[in-house]
């Protein structure tokens, strides 16, 4: 390296950088890791997709970024979560509260139960700005109404006085988004934000995300198991399996040329994405087996090996590390290592 890095170069590094993260759950007196050796970065303004089946550790990773891993039984046992260089795993509760909803905010999967039934939606948005910006009640309320209109809720002035039960699921999710964005956070985490909604409403919500990202410039971490959504929404994709990252790369290369056998399986599950258009409808593909639970995993070996048609002896014995496969991509599979030889 020709010159030592200047301090301003350090701060202009990734907005959020997760290093060697390990999250464990204490079950029957034993620490069972549910996320291991996880590292990833996110740059300002970009959209990162995190993909994987249920139980692969996506949601708990998202919660860890906000310091919200349910404790007990869970905790972050190793690694760093660096927001602009500040390690959030070492931050106290007061500091975390200043970050939550302000620098990093989150939209959850269940709009029906994620809003408090006994307060108006206007209040639930307004209190967030009151806490973070110290606005007066009136100013915060105006801001809440303004946000409701931003997220496309008709007649926001009257709607602000509504209670959650008076709104549909899609509308409630819009309110959740308004809450998440009201402080103009740097990072917005969306954990399966449309799973509970109708297909048409899903499309509207994703349009809203894209629209708002342009206006607010927040980086988005989109957690999903829907490859179609990934293709439409994200810049970069990270695939998780059984608590580990197994592949990462740009969305285009990820879909065109998946490297890890698991990713290939995921992509083939989407009928119209994997194959060139043809007259014969492609048969639906399914990855055999299920994701092993964290307790069933051994200390070493590829977690996907039992379901993998290419598995060899090495896969069962040694855990593959992430291996660069060119184009800024990486995959954790021994096949890639062998092929590179």
Partner 1 sequence: MSEVTIGQPAAAPQPVSPSRQAWRMFRQNHAAVVGLLVLLAILLISAIGPLVYTVPPGEMVWMPLTPPGRSAYLLGTDYLGRDLLAGLINGGRVTIAIGFSAALITLFIGVAVGALAGFFGGWVDTVLMRITEFFQVLPNLLFAMVVVMLFSPTLLNISIAIGVVSWTSAARLTRAEFMRLREMDFVRAERSIGAGNARLIWKVILPNAGPPLIVVAALSTGTAILFEAGLSFLGLSDPNAMSWGRMIGDNRPYILDSSWGVTFPGIAIFLTVLAISLIGDGLNDAFNPKLRQR
Partner 2 sequence: MLKLTLRKAANAVALLLAVLVLNFTMIHLAPGDPVETLVGEMGGATPALIEDLRRSMGLDQPLYIQIGLYVGNVLRGDFGHSYYYDQPVLTLIGARIGPTLLLVTTALFAATMIGTVLGVFSAQRRSSWLSHLVTVLSLAGFSAPVFWVGIMLILVLSVAFPIFPISGMSDAVGTDGGLLYALDVAHHLALPALTLALIYLAFYSRLARASMLEVLGSDYVRTARAKGLPRRLVVYKHALRNAILPVVTFAGLQFGQVISGAVLVETVFAWPGLGTLAFDSILRRDTPTLLGILFFSALMVVVMNVLTDLLYRRIDPRIKIR
**Residues binding partner 2 (CB under 8 A):** 66, 68, 93-94, 96-102, 105-106, 108, 110, 113-119, 127-128, 131-132, 163, 165, 176, 179
Least distance in angstroms from the C-beta of 108 to partner 1: 23
Instruction: Identify what 4 binds: partner 2, partner 1, none; CB under 5 to 8 Å per kind.
Output: none
> Between 209 and 254, whose beta carbon lies closer to partner 2?
209
Least distance in angstroms from the C-beta of 307 to partner 1: 6
> Between 123 and 247, whose beta carbon lies closer to partner 2?
123
Least distance in angstroms from the C-beta of 72 to partner 1: 11
Cα(149)–Cα(215) distance, integer angstroms: 14
Q: Closest Cα to residue 177, out of 140, 142, 128, 133?
A: 128
Residue 124 corresponds to which tokens in the numbers above? 């639930």
> Between 11 and 30, whose beta carbon lies closer to partner 1?
30
Q: Closest Cα to residue 176, out of 230, 238, 73, 106?
A: 106
Instruction: Identify what 113 binds: partner 1, partner 2, none; CB under 5 to 8 Å per kind.
Output: partner 2
> Between 141 and 304, whose beta carbon lies closer to partner 1?
304
Least distance in angstroms from the C-beta of 209 to partner 2: 17
Cα(221)–Cα(219) distance, integer angstroms: 7
Least distance in angstroms from the C-beta of 227 to partner 1: 22
Residue 168 corresponds to which tokens in the numbers above? 């549909």
> Between 139 and 311, whose beta carbon lies closer to partner 2?
139
Residues forming contacts to partner 1 in the complex (CB under 8 A) are: 288-290, 292, 295-298, 306-307
> Between 289 and 324, whose beta carbon lies closer to partner 1?
289
Instruction: Identify what 66 binds: partner 2, partner 1, none; CB under 5 to 8 Å per kind.
Output: partner 2
Instruction: Identify what 292 binds: partner 1, partner 2, none; CB under 5 to 8 Å per kind.
Output: partner 1
The answer to whether the beta carbons of residues 121 and 115 sit under 8 Å apart is: yes
Instruction: Identify what 290 binds: partner 2, partner 1, none; CB under 5 to 8 Å per kind.
Output: partner 1
CB count, 10 Å around CB of 44? 14
Least distance in angstroms from the C-beta of 113 to partner 2: 4
């Amino acid at each position: 390296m020709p010159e030592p890095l200047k301090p301003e170069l350090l701060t202009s590094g990734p907005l959020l950088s997760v290093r060697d993260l390990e999250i464990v759950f204490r079950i029957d007196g034993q620490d069972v890791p549910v996320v291991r050796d996880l590292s990833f970065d996110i740059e300002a303004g970009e959209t990162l997709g995190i993909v994987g089946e249920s139980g692969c550790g996506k949601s708990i990773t998202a919660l860890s970024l906000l310091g919200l891993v349910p404790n007990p039984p869970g905790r972050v046992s190793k690694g760093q979560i660096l927001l602009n260089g500040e390690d959030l795993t070492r931050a106290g509760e007061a500091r975390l509260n200043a970050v939550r909803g302000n620098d990093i905010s989150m939209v959850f999967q269940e709009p029906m139960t994620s809003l408090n039934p006994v307060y108006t939606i206007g209040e639930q948005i307004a209190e967030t700005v009151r806490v973070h910006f110290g606005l007066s009640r009136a100013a915060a309320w105006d801001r809440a109404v303004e946000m409701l209109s931003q997220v496309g809720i008709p007649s926001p002035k009257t709607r602000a006085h509504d209670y959650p039960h008076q709104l549909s699921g899609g509308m409630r999710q819009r309110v959740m988004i308004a809450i998440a964005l009201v402080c103009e956070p740097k990072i917005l985490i969306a954990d399966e934000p449309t799973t509970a909604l109708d297909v048409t409403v899903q499309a509207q919500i994703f349009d809203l995300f894209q629209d708002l990202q342009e206006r607010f410039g927040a980086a988005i971490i989109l957690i999903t198991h829907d490859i179609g959504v990934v293709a439409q929404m994200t810049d970069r994709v990270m695939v998780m399996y059984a608590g580990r990252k197994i592949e990462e790369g740009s969305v285009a290369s990820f879909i065109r040329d998946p490297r890890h056998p698991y990713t290939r399986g995921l992509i083939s599950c989407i009928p119209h994405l994997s194959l060139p258009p043809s007259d014969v409808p492609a048969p639906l593909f399914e990855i055999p087996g299920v994701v092993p639970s964290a307790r069933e995993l051994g200390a070493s070996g590829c977690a996907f090996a039992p379901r993998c048609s290419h598995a060899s002896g090495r896969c069962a014995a040694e855990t593959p590390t992430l291996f660069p496969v060119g184009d800024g991509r990486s995959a954790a599979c021994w096949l890639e290592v062998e092929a590179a030889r």
